[in-house]
Structure 1
Amino acid sequence: MHINMASSEALRIIESDYTGPSKPISINRTPTEAQRIDWWTSEGKAESIAQDRKRSALRLYQHIASQAANDLPANTFPAAFFFSDQAHYRPDKGLIKALIRASALEACHCEGELCFRLTDAGTYLLS
């Protein structure tokens, strides 16, 4: 989904909010696959939902969603970010997979694109 901000702003936000080694935003090398929910829940390493990383990631994803070219429903963010500087990013796959397994996120579609919506459990985790 087109985002009306530069990728450098998103990277700066997460850099200042989360000091851990693995940032919860990744270059999107597989844009087509990132639109499939089965890709998000398949393979890859298992991840725990560390408090600081999870909260920082969800805050970042919600901020990015607030800058989407199209209005998104509350507590919803896209599965793929196409920033104004032409950079393609996505949320961290392992973290999204763990949040889906914990019933904190559910898949939905907005403007024909895959998005993720925080459930009540996800909103609780964010607080």
Structure 2
Amino acid sequence: MNRRDLLIMSGAALLLAGRASASNIDYTPGLVQQRLAAGETLFVDFFAPWCGTCRTQERHIEALREENPAYDAAMSFIRVDWDTYGRGELAQSLEIPRRSTLVVLRGDAELGRIVAGTSRSAIQELMDLGLS
């Protein structure tokens, strides 16, 4: 193996290791209610894999989680695939208007939300709500 290949493989391994530490939970019906009943704080991301806004939000969320491990300690990150569940019970009960909606929930309360916003500072403010 030459030096260039080794560097490329090492970089890829580091990227994968970083992503593995910040895990997302894929939504299934009933999951949010179950986790809230257990006393968890949830960061719920209504996304579509083809959505550019969603990809920008995801980059900011992952970077912020990497920079501050307290986010992962304080809340669970649940990703809701809009194409599958966008018209489902959860989206309807939370009145989610579209994909690229981020919501922080605790107990019976919605602590905050962003709809189609891609500002890193706004996303950080929303995530900070889950820390308090």
Whose helix fraction is larger, Structure 1's or Structure 2's? 2
Whether the TM-score (by the shorter chain) exceeds 0.5 is no
Q: Give TM-score, length-normalised by structure 1.
A: 0.27
Larger radius of gyration: 2
Q: Which of structures 1 and 2 has the larger relative contact order (alpha carbons within 8 angstroms, sep 6+)?
A: 1
Q: Give TM-score, length-normalised by structure 2.
A: 0.26
